[in-house]
Amino acid sequence: MDFETVMQELEALGKERTKKIYMSNGAHEPVFGVATGAMKPMAKKIKINQPLAEELYATGNYDAMYFAGIIADPHAMTNLDYDRWMDGAYFYMLSDYVVAVTLSESAIAQEVADLWIASGDELRMSAGWSCYCWLLGNRKDHEFSESKISDMLEIVKNTIHDSPERTKASMNNFLYTVGISYIPLHEKALETAKEIGIVEINRENKKTSLLNPYESIQKDLDKGRLGFKRKYVRC
């Protein structure tokens, strides 16, 4: 399938209701409103195609950019490529669910995510923390440095309440993911979550969200989900 065909198919799959949901979360035109599940048959046909992914991502069309993440080759992308994709990621559904997800399947994931976390830029920081969520929820525990993840928990404890809104949400997810998916620091994550208390997220034109990381971890522990790992990160 070539670029034109993919764009036509995506447009045909668009639904007004889905488009409204995406736009209420920060997407802006151009956007078709394609449900992610509806992209699967097309993704199966194309499999991995980095040149096509680059063409689609460059359109600035939300659905095309999302689909680009599904067919991208994470190993073919360099630090500079991921940075370029982040430059185009204008809201969290792109930074956290397209760029961070693609990065998490590459060999340079931690290296790039660390730079983003230290960047001071809201969406880059959000993508960096999100990338670690995808990593910890999929890769084996021994692939991570326990002391490094422990230090990251300290950063969350000391800075979450003063971080930008979107970064706060991703830090909260990181804390939850360590508590459930990374057994060596499960206890420390619980303690950290207890100390942090309620995390308040304020978003434009939305009600304030009150997140309780301790409760979220505890709820999933009660369901016997300790040690949960995803089989796949990308759909």
pLDDT digits (tens, 9 = 90+) for 123-182: 999 999 999 999 999 999 999 999 999 999 999 999 999 999 999 999 999 999 999 999
Identify the pLDDT of residue 216. 97
Q: How many CB atoms lie within 10 A of CB 51?
A: 10
Lowest mean pLDDT among 27-31, 185-189, 205-209: 205-209
pLDDT band at 234 (very low <50, low <70, confident <90, very high): confident
What pLDDT score was predicted for residue 235?
60
**pLDDT at residue 204 tops 90:** no
Max intra-chain CA distance, the chain: 52
In the chain, % of residues over pLDDT 70: 100
Percentage of the chain exceeding pLDDT 90: 96
Alpha helices by DSSP H, 25-119? 40-46, 50-57, 62-71, 79-88, 92-94, 100-104, 109-117
Q: Measure CA 86 to chain center.
A: 12
Look at residue 102 and tell me whether its pLDDT is greater than 80.
Answer: yes
Give the pair of three-digit tokens for residue 227: 């040690």
What DSSP string runs through 130-170?
A: HHHHHHHTTS-GGGS-HHHHHHHHHHHHHHGGGS-HHHHHH
- Return the closest-CA partner of residue 36 out of 230, 216, 235: 235
| 41: CB partners within 8 A, 6+ apart | none
